[in-house]
Structure 1
């Protein structure tokens, strides 16, 4: 992905650039689709729907990979991170420990507590796995790993699943047509969901939501959220 994502500005620049070119390309194609129903409209909708899905999946993978790299490059101690990121940092070593006895489970607990004060080593390669079929359950797992789940994503479950289904119908050569109003609804909703993800990442980065809240922390919290770009 090129230069390491070390600062908030680098993170937002990369995510905004990725979102912008995707939105521009999709908008150019959408604007070429005739509003009147005809053979060209049908062909262009069938050609654009898989690309709409591809840009959605691509943005999820790229933007969250940037965010993960941003968090990893903080070099925080395990005790400073939320549990999802601790699990990522320790997953390779934890995978070598068996869990089929109290003794071995105790070893796992000891292993974790022994590393609480040590610097994390969060892997960034092949963590954001969209499985080339980004159904909502796959998205939900990714959002959990990144601690970005929220009610809005949950409310878009049907949209995410329907987009995958429509992409698959076309990719498998089925003669299933999406009408123009339905396509426009897909287009607008997916662009909005991409923008929501972008805002979630930006806000989580500036608020340092990846950190474990300090107990009885009386310090003031950052309240200025990122404005839409």
Structure 2
């Protein structure tokens, strides 16, 4: 992917471009499916459902990888970042430290405090792992890493899981049919979810949500 997502405009241009071609292709396919039940309708729905899932998984992976690259290229210090990004930056070193004694746990704490004011080095490769089976619990883990979890995503759990299930039924050769109205719901809801993720990333970049909130100095002052 390269270290080329540095500015907000670069981030949004890439995410919008990725979303747009996926939406266009899915919309074209949807328009070609007959709205009356016949063998062609059945075949096209069965052919399009796996592609709908593929576009959803692909957009999650690509858009969040761009966002991670954007945050990484900020070069912020650890004490300026949310804990998730600090954990990503330090995970390689932390993984070599054992936690089976107070001494080793103390070493971990010392290490973290020592690195607090140092520049981060957030990895961007192989972090956004959809596991080729993007169930909601996998999506939830990815959103947590990116500090993007919210109640709307939680409300879409059934949609995300049902799409995976339908894709798997077809991929495994099962003769399980999705009717036209159900397919249209899947299509429209998944595109809406992709658009929500796009907007969520854009807003998080604008608001610098990846940064640790500044301490509230007013509330921390001692009053006599």
Give the TM-score of the pair, scaled to structure 1.
Answer: 0.94
SS of aligned partner of 2:12: helix
Alpha-carbon separation, structure 1, partners of 2:106 and 2:214: 26
| Aligned pairs, number | 218
Q: Which residue of the partner structure matches residue 11 of structure 2?
A: 11
Alpha-carbon separation, structure 2, partners of 1:40 and 1:180: 12
Residues 210 and 24 (structure 1), Cα distance of their counterparts in 2 relative to 1, 3 Å cut: same
Q: Which residue of the partner structure matches residue 185 of structure 2?
A: 185
- 1:36-80 Cα deviation digits (max 9, x unpaired): 000000000000000000000000000000000000000000000
Q: Which residue of the partner structure matches residue 29 of structure 1?
A: 29
Deviation at 1:216, TM superposition (A): 1.3
SS of aligned partner of 1:121: coil
Alpha-carbon separation, structure 1, partners of 2:102 and 2:65: 36
Q: Which residue of the partner structure matches residue 221 of structure 1?
A: none
- 1:172-218 Cα deviation digits (max 9, x unpaired): 00000000000000001000000000000000000000000010168
Q: Which residue of the partner structure matches residue 115 of structure 2?
A: 115
Q: Which residue of the partner structure matches residue 157 of structure 1?
A: 157
1:201 and 2:209 correspond:
no
SS of aligned partner of 2:42: helix
Structure 2 unaligned segments of length 5 or more: list them: 219-224
Deviation at 1:3, TM superposition (A): 5.7
Give the TM-score of the pair, scaled to structure 2.
Answer: 0.96
Deviation at 1:102, TM superposition (A): 1.0
1:103 and 2:112 correspond:
no
Pairs within 5 Å for 1:7-86: 7-86=7-86
Structure 1 unaligned segments of length 5 or more: list them: 219-229
Residues 170 and 213 (structure 1), Cα distance of their counterparts in 2 relative to 1, 3 Å cut: same
Deviation at 1:2, TM superposition (A): 4.8
Q: Which residue of the partner structure matches residue 215 of structure 2?
A: 215
SS of aligned partner of 2:66: helix
Moved segments of 4+, more than 4 Å: none
Alpha-carbon separation, structure 2, partners of 1:35 and 1:116: 59
Q: Which residue of the partner structure matches residue 225 of structure 1?
A: none
Given that residues 3 and 73 in structure 2 are in contact (C-alpha distance below 8 angstroms), is that contact kept between their aligned partners in structure 1?
Answer: no
Alpha-carbon separation, structure 2, partners of 1:166 and 1:144: 26
Pairs within 5 Å for 1:124-143: 124-143=124-143
1:176 and 2:157 correspond:
no
Q: Which has the higher helix share?
A: 2
